Amino acid sequence: MTNADEAAPTVAVVGGGAVGVTTAHDLAARGADVTLYERGGLAAASSGRAAGLLYDAYAEDVDAAVGARSIERFRAFDRSLPGFSFSPCPYVIAVREGDPDADAVPAMVDRMRDHGRDVTLVDPAALGERFPSLRTDDLAVAAVAEGAGWTDPPSYVRALAERAAGEGVAVETDTAVALGPWTDAGREVRVRDAGTDESSGAETRAFDAVVVAAGAHTRSLLADAGVSVPVVSYRVQALVARSDYAGPMVYDATAEAYLRPHPEGLLAGDGTEPVPADPDDYRREADDWFREDAAGVLDERLARVARPDDAGQPDRGERIGHDLDDARAWAGLCTATPDGDPLVGPVDAEEGDATLFVAAGWQGHGFMRAPAVGEVVAEGVLASLAGVALDGPDSPWTGAFDPRRFDGTESFEIVEGMSLSSRTEEE
């Protein structure tokens, strides 16, 4: 907290998604004077289109720690944050016969367990007995993470934003900004109403620090301040089908697709397009090929289930894929980095005291990491403003996520964020 005799540090957070809102909330809770800027509405972009899977089943130590802290905070918010709920649900990692990654799964599970994660290797037949809604006879190996769950992502953003406003955060939606240089007054932010033309002028405000957590727009915003970061957006897809499903969350690693229970039935994705997407001009509707692929995966992974109008008559069940022509489907954006790890920390430290910070590049894991990352960013920003050395033993920043590991000009291929190969690599 800020000393009562000192002025509270002023911080602007740019981006009204899960990471930005959590950061703003946690900064205010620690005594900062915070303004949150969002060019549209809260949860209007990636967080509003996120799948809502929450798990801590990671093999790498940093990822496992971040995942565990996020789950811990999600569970705490479930008890204390009106308008938000966390639904506990086991998370199954399923690998089919013939998949070359299958042999590496036992070692991956051992590493998860070494990090304290409640993950167990399960015989496919035993998995089918535990979860009769799943087809398991084509699996080579499977694992179950018990400490997982799911939620509605927009509800988290809106509920935490309301609490943040109660903590004193000025939440300015429908407000576009551009970043300016550091001046004697602070880091400049040029503010204009989202509905006005930039040439009509903008108000300039100055802050002690600025955090850019703007998802797919992060790269262009930082470019305004003369900072280049290797964050590239790509398109992903999901759908909700009207089908009775009360089983676990499942990641079919061979098909690179996931599913989970949903209040309307069943949510499934992934539909990744591993090519750059323009955040201002991308197709927001789902593609026909994605619906077809999702139907095939669900037919292969789920046992026959009853349609909603077949209540009490399970013998008339049909393959879930038959329902997908009428499924509600959409596309959203994820962001990638050259090594698959996010950029979290200062980006102007080479010029002296850090005043500009970034939190982006989630490879599809941004929402589930938001509670932990927002906490780290809040602590890191305030520590940096207090003069704590960025690389010192008292620094809250995570070294593996340091944006300074790149020069910002890197070219790289986009890799699907949930792929099993990234989990089975040796530490």
- 159-189 residue pLDDT tens: 999 999 999 999 999 999 999 998 889 999 9
- Say yes or no: 313 and 382 in one domain: no
Please tell me whether residues 166 and 297 are part of one structural domain. no
| 3 state SS of 341 | coil
What predicted TM-score, i.e. pTM, was given to this entire model? Answer: 0.92
Domain identity same for 331 and 192: no
Identify whether 212 is part of a domain.
Answer: yes
275 and 299 part of one domain: yes
**Do 44 and 162 reside in the same domain of the chain?**
yes
For the chain, the domain total comes to: 2
Same domain, yes or no: 322 and 242? yes
Task: Specify the pLDDT at position 205.
Answer: 96
Q: Does residue 122 form part of some domain?
A: no
Concatenating the DSSP letter of every residue in 108-143 gives: HHHHHHHTT--EEEE-HHHHHHH-TTB--TTEEEEE
CA–CA separation, 9 and 32 (whole Å):
5
Residue 403 is predicted with a pLDDT of 96
Classify residue 394: in a domain, yes or no.
Answer: yes
- In the prediction, which pLDDT does 427 show? 38
Q: How far is residue 282's CA from residue 231's CA, in Å, rounded to a whole number?
A: 17
Give the CATH number, domain containing residue 170.
Answer: 3.50.50.60
The answer to whether residues 405 and 271 belong to one domain is no
Domain match, 379 and 346 both: yes
Domain span holding position 293:
234-246+259-335
How far apart are the C-alpha atoms of 303 and 164, rounded to whole Å?
44
Q: Among 320, 335, 350, identify where a domain stops.
A: 335
Give 299-314 pLDDT, tens digit per residue: 999 986 545 555 554 4
Same domain, residue pair 158 and 271 = no
